[in-house]
Amino acid sequence: MEILTLQPNKEDAGTRIDAWLAANVEELTRSAAVRLIEEGRVTRDGKPLVKKDKVTGGETIEVVLPEPEAVDVVPQNIPLDIVYEDDDVIVVNKPKGMVVHPAPGHSDGTLVNALLYHCGDSLSGIGGELRPGIVHRIDRDTTGLIIAAKNDFAHQRLSAQLQDHTLARVYHCIVIGNLREDSGTVDAPIGRHPTDRKRQAIVADGRRAVTHWTVLERYQGFTYVECRLETGRTHQIRVHMAHTGHPILGDTVYGNKKPVPGLQGQCLHAVGLRFIHPRTEQPVELGCSLTEEFEKQLAKLRNRG
């Protein structure tokens, strides 16, 4: 059981409590919020709320989350763009819109469901029943390379490389505005946003997060950037680029709330992956092309000058 303590802002005043919860608690749908309210799990200053109640702003709301229900993760015949595969590892070019592993609201159609179908029993069990084989994650609307382990030996070796940074991940993104320098580093700790459960934030007591960035091309009002992760926190590149004052194009969570025509989610692509093979101990370096959607955005910017 988990208890969330939330404090709405003044600008949230007048919003129905079920709608506000769905917007501010990660992976909580409005119907799930209504269910929690009806079960008496949502209180304001200690008093139970009903779904028609509205946020006043400045109050304290407590939400008692039940233990997560077990999810039966089934293999699904979902096509995979496999970049590399052997008996120990598999590297996939993940499409936009695909969630990496099952979670509330995403019980199927995930990368894990697809891997279970493709690999059968050949996935490591270290990640647990919901995350077999998963060594690291990328966001639903982030595209590009992700590696999974086919056995526990490979998983342990790859996890160790995440810790010592020998598993290197390279991303390309388009950010809003023009970065003043040609390269730089953001070293700022990241943790859960203090009031918005769906977001991460730069917080003093967060986990250390380091992103190295280099300008690839400059356009009028936008910059094409390469980012190299030294650490791998949730939403790290998105939070760090927003922290520089240059959020990623299409990121409606950390940047402009208005969607970009022709673009689903943020313009962020995991273009490169380098690791030491867990069994042969030889370096493996992989890359993949940008998505058609990403290329179209670059073409538009280049035509603008």
Other CB atoms within 10 Å distance of the CB of residue 299? 10
Residue type, 184: G
141: number of Cβ within 10 Å: 20
Beta bridge mates, 285: 274
Specify the DSSP element, H or E, that contains 288.
Answer: none
Concatenating the DSSP letter of every residue in 82-150 gives EEEE-SSEEEEEEPTT--SS-BTTB-SSSHHHHHHHHHTT-S-STT-SSSTTB-S---TT-EEEEEEES
Distance CA 91, CA 94 (A): 9
Burial class of residue 118 (count of CB atoms within 10 Å of its CB; 0-12, 13-18, 19+): buried
Cβ neighbours of 81 (radius 10 Å): 12
Instruction: Please say if 139 is a catalytic residue.
Output: yes
Rounded Cα distance, 112 and 66, in Å: 24
- Helix (H) or strand (E) holding 173, with range, is strand 168-176
Q: Do residues 12 and 22 lie in contact, with contact meaning Cβ atoms separated by under 8 Å?
A: no
The two tokens of residue 31 are 């119907």
Q: What is the DSSP letter of 179?
A: -
| Catalytic residue (choose from 12, 18, 88, 139) | 139
- Measured distance CA(43)–CA(63) in Å, rounded: 7
Distant-in-sequence, close-in-space partners of 71: CB < 8 Å, separation ≥ 6:
102, 107, 129, 130
Tokens representing residue 70 in the block: 């077990």
Question: Which residues are marked as active site?
Answer: 139
